[in-house]
Amino acid sequence: MADVFPYLSVSILFPIAAALFIPFVPDPGDGSQVRWYSLGIALADFLVTVAAYVNGYDPSQAGLQLVERVSWLPQLGLGWSVGVDGLSMPLVLLTSFITSLAILAAWPVSFKPKLFHFLMLAMCGGQIAVFAVQDMLLFFLAWELELIPVYLLLAIWGGKKRQYAATKFILYTAGSSLFILIAALAMAFQGSGPPSFEFSTMASKDLGVGLQMLCYSGLLIAFGVKLPMVPLHTWLPDAHGEATAPVHMLLAGILLKMGGYALLRFNGQLLPDAHARFAPLLVVFGVVNIIYAALTSFAQRNLKRKIAYSSISHMGFVLIGVASFSPLATSGAMLQMISHGLIGASLFFLVGATYDRTHTLMLDEMGGVGQGMRKMFAMWTTCSLASLALPGMSGFVAELMVFVGFATSDAYSLSFRIVIVCLAAIGVILTPIYLLSMLREIFFGRENRELASHTNLVDAEPREIYIISSLLVPVIAIGLYPRLTTESYRASIESLVERDSNALQAAARDKSPSIPLTLIPATLQKAPAMG
């Protein structure tokens, strides 16, 4: 079907090309016209990605689909190569969906509206490209280019410390991205024959364990910053603390998922021998993410920073799932990315809506507004329950899959699995405590009369209800029937885990002097060769 219509190329290039026409859109200067243009382009792009899934994507196939290739400079292995599989197709849909809602959330933006919507549309194409390109050099370019709109959106429309937050964001993310370029060049020019940056070619190369370990280390830093992984996370609370609601939605809903996707695509799929040695370290980092970020979120008095640390905590489950060598837990990690994309976007949108009414982010200055904003309270409560993994919501299914999958994985000793599961459970216990206490401080308790007298505490308007409803419908649908989502990537996940498991058994037989291998049970270290 990709030969009939280039769905992926259109979904990447269409919003970027449409953004170039924004300066010519008639607008009085307050954004009342350009916002309709931007929303129309985003919705059209979303329909293109839906058409790609419906008409050209087969969930039962593990390999690449909707492949489009155009050779640019074959002597250097450069070309336009896009395609999707189960690791990328759900995230392409998530990107176009969240972007459409983020543009609708940007309805009140009246300062430099044309530039704002230009950056939003340009970022949409760049983010889809990160998930769809199948060439590592193209991936690096898309990874870098989508940083520019985020930087400008933070630096121009952010809060009082926006310059600091934007600078810290670009230093962390752009600086760590150099490791992607170095790893790409090392893998592309390795071996005989012409160089190639295509994922499929790199995956078929015999890179050697030493080179894989070096590339894996660099990529782990690059992707760990974006995930984010403690201790590479400090840019995120500052960025979220200064961003506007639409930018919040893109940061939490899409940008963090790039790190998780890249770990699966590169560290897990292209570097399986190194992944077999580094995986226990990822599990430890995942537990640190869960506990440290949950405890830090519990102590935060700033509403944005509280939700930001909550996002970091939830990404810890992705790290554990990626390193589990279990189809169930790895599927749970994928589902956690999709689930948190929806839930995180909804929570940060509500943070922005609450700030518009109260003009404060400090929980100490809130309280007693539940009676005046009942619809807002209902939406806050539902989204918070989804975030704390209430049964019937997508977060519960994702975290349960990670827990059960890791606990039953044969890749680690029983004692190690018990310790990790018990420690991760601490984060699960802390999450409802800090989220429910947050609701209490915002909506209950003694009313802040000074706040009520100086602000307009109007309840949720139809646009806000629509945005939250659009995000909650798939959260509840996935929670009640997870196969709606898991079937779209099951074949790709199983293929990935099988490849990594074979590499794990080869590493155990090799008995290389790697510290993480001491965590592998003796029965697996003596495993016979795979036939």
Number of domains in the chain: 1
Q: Give the Å distances, CA to CA, from 28 to 31, 35, 111, 197, 366.
A: 7, 12, 12, 47, 37
Looking at the domain assignment, is residue 151 inside a domain?
no
Query: Which structure tokens are listed for 358?
Result: 């109260």
Looking at the domain assignment, is residue 277 inside a domain?
yes
Q: Is 68 helix (H, G, I), strand (E, B) or coil?
A: strand
Q: State the pTM of this model.
A: 0.93
Q: Which residues constitute the domain of residue 490?
A: 271-506
Looking at the domain assignment, is residue 317 inside a domain?
yes
pLDDT in tens, the chain (531 residues): 445 689 999 999 999 999 999 999 998 888 889 999 999 999 999 999 999 999 989 999 998 999 998 887 777 667 899 999 999 999 999 999 999 999 999 999 989 999 999 999 999 999 999 999 999 999 999 999 889 999 999 999 988 899 999 999 999 999 999 999 999 999 988 877 778 888 888 888 888 889 999 999 999 999 999 999 999 999 999 999 899 999 999 999 999 999 999 999 999 999 999 999 999 999 999 999 999 999 999 899 999 999 999 999 999 999 999 999 999 999 999 999 999 999 999 999 999 999 888 888 888 888 777 777 889 999 999 999 999 999 999 999 999 999 999 999 989 999 999 999 999 999 899 999 999 999 998 888 676 666 655 566 788 899 999 999 999 999 999 999 999 999 999 999 999 999 999 888 887 777 654 444 444 444 344 333 332
Looking at the domain assignment, is residue 457 inside a domain?
yes
Looking at the domain assignment, is residue 411 inside a domain?
yes
Question: CA torsion 248→251→252→253, rounded to 10°?
Answer: 100
Looking at the domain assignment, is residue 118 inside a domain?
no
Looking at the domain assignment, is residue 357 inside a domain?
yes
Looking at the domain assignment, is residue 76 inside a domain?
no
Query: Which structure tokens are listed for 213?
Result: 């370990």
Query: Which structure tokens are listed for 94?
Result: 């998530």
Query: Which structure tokens are listed for 65?
Result: 């689909």
Cα(253)–Cα(257) distance, rounded to whole angstroms?
7
Name all contacts of 362-366 with Cβ < 8 Å and 24+ positions apart.
362/301, 362/302, 362/303, 363/301, 363/302, 363/303, 363/306, 363/438, 363/441, 363/442, 364/301, 364/441, 365/448, 365/451, 366/441, 366/442, 366/448, 366/451
